[in-house]
Amino acid sequence: MNKSVITEETVLQELKKAIVETLNADESSIQPESSLINDLGAESLDFLDINYRLEQAFGIKMARHFVLEHIEEMYGEGSAIDDNGQLTEKAVTLLKIRFGDKMKDLEPGMDMDEVPALVTVQSLAEGVMDILNSVPESCEKCGKSDWQAEEGVRTKCGSCGEPAVFRNGDDLIKAWLTKVQEEKKIF
Amino acid sequence: MDSLSGKTALITGSSRGIGKAIAKKLAAAGADIVINYRKASGSSHAQAEELRDELESLGRKTLMVPADISSKESVKGLFSNIKDSFGTLDFLILNAAKAPFKPIEKLFERELRQLVETNYLGNIFCIQEALPLMDKAGGRIVFISSLGSRYYNPSYPLGSMKAAMESVVRDCAESLRAKKILVNGVCGGIVKTDSFKVLRQYWEEIDRLPEELFVDPGEIADVTAFLCSTASTGIIGQTIVVDRGLSNSLYRTS
């Protein structure tokens, strides 16, 4: 599923811009593998600020909640994070399926407060790409399949100019969790 | 307004937003400032350093203390630091807050506990530890509340904690007046701080509010400074709304 007319390179570029503006970071210090918290000094409020800038840039809705929260909302409190605030084995299994090697430091028993530090520039960019790839086959208004990237960042119908409506980040995470659960029966 | 020189103020959560504006205002009036923020690393720390440099360039003494007010131990450490550096405290400004943005019924148990620990217990811990430092000369305690204490904001469980806060203002104002500690609150309207960036993600209509209804952090700081001055000795146990008329114009009864 790779339908976005906006390139990953553009996404990384916009993300860097958002990080520079939010954190006063030096652009040369921002690498794909940089941890927003550990390497770039972001805090939870900063994430929301960065997300907001990305939403404005691309006309999308980023996820308001991280995967762990969605797991607990769907499968109950305690399913992802135990009473001591530590990751359960099932949560780690799921995060590894989702993020693969990029989050290789993950292990059961890890403190939940350490998880946000695993978010990197690359993983955030992929989150944006997932949303951009949810662009519908054709324009809801005129029915044509002719998406164009206006100014490189805004997906618009090349025929009638209607902006694309993407799925929001939270819905995509929930849909992914449902699919994985159907296949692997983790919970 | 009279000078606050020679006085010491602690503003919890002062590396950003409203807390930062209050720190600047009290420093401009002459007070020495204890800058508090939660985490010893990250963007708050960097912003606290910037604030420290700015206040010191005015000739004020400053003390930077990272401390999570939801932890009693951490609060004890904060105040023992203040005692060592300044000996006494004149103004305690309870501004720090942290809360998830979710409908209340969707909060997990740990989120509910954190909500109460940071935004209710944390403030009480601070008062308990501040009292010995205010014992001799008395002082002022100012709580920073928000309109969420009285009106519905979407996905804003912090509002219920602010309602509790305004009740604590009335309570402590009575019990501490004999110690010459005057307790009041400032209830802010909608302020464009970092938290606003979050609020607007849950409340899209807010972007359509006319610009003149947004409160400047400095306007909340002005009233806070007033509540620390001798000009306000007649005000006890009140929470003053500073909202540019928002609540009056939108929530008015006929």
A47 in any annotated domain? yes
pLDDT in tens, A112-144: 989 999 999 999 999 999 999 999 999 999 999
> To the nearest whole percent, how much of chain A has pLDDT over 70?
99
A187 in any annotated domain? no
In this complex, do B39 and A73 lie within 8 Å of one another by their Cβ atoms? no
Interfacial A residues in 4-33 facing B (CB < 8 Å): 23-24
pLDDT in tens, B60-87: 999 999 999 999 999 999 999 999 999 9
Structure-block tokens of residue B149: 């204490």
Check whether B192 has a pLDDT greater than 90: no
Q: Residue B38: CB partners within 8 Å, gap ≥ 6?
A: B13, B44, B66, B67, B68, B69, B96, B98
A30 in any annotated domain? yes
B120 catalytic? Reply is no
Chain A nearest-CA distance from B159, in A, is 18
- DSSP assignment of A120-142 equals BHHHHHHHHHHHHTT--SS-TTT
Q: Which one has a higher pLDDT value, A109 or A100?
A: A109
Predicted local distance difference test score (pLDDT) of residue B253: 58
In this complex, do B194 and A64 lie within 8 Å of one another by their Cβ atoms? no
Chain A nearest-CA distance from B68, in A, is 14
Contacts of A64 in chain B (CB under 8 A): 101, 201-202
Q: Tell me how far the alpha carbon of residue B162 is from its chain's centroid.
A: 11
Predicted local distance difference test score (pLDDT) of residue B198: 76
Check whether B55 has a pLDDT greater than 70: yes
A127 in any annotated domain? yes
Domain encompassing residue A28: 8-180
A3 in any annotated domain? no
pLDDT in tens, A70-98: 999 999 999 999 999 999 999 999 999 99
Interfacial B residues in 85-114 facing A (CB < 8 Å): 101, 106, 108-110
Question: Domain count of chain A?
Answer: 1
Q: Tell me how far the alpha carbon of residue A6 is from its chain's centroid.
A: 16
Rounded to whole angstroms, how far apart are CA atoms A156 and A140? 11
CATH of the domain at A43: 1.10.1200.10
Predicted local distance difference test score (pLDDT) of residue B204: 80
In this complex, do A45 and B198 lie within 8 Å of one another by their Cβ atoms? yes
In this complex, do B201 and A49 lie within 8 Å of one another by their Cβ atoms? no
Contacts of B16 in chain A (CB under 8 A): 45
Band (pLDDT 50/70/90 cuts) for residue B97 is: very high
> To the nearest whole percent, how much of chain B has pLDDT over 90?
85
Chain B nearest-CA distance from A152, in A, is 24
- Its sign, for the CA torsion A92, A98, A104, A105, is negative
- Flag whether the ipTM exceeds 0.90: no
B156 catalytic? Reply is yes
A1 in any annotated domain? no
Average confidence (pLDDT) over B16-20: 96
A64 in any annotated domain? yes
> Distances in Å between the alpha carbon of B148 and those of B93, B102, B184?
19, 14, 17
Band (pLDDT 50/70/90 cuts) for residue A2 is: low
Output the pTM of the full model: 0.89
In this complex, do B42 and A48 lie within 8 Å of one another by their Cβ atoms? no
A185 in any annotated domain? no
Q: Residue A39: CB partners within 8 Å, gap ≥ 6?
A: A29, A31
Rg over alpha carbons for chain A, rounded to the nearest Å, is: 17
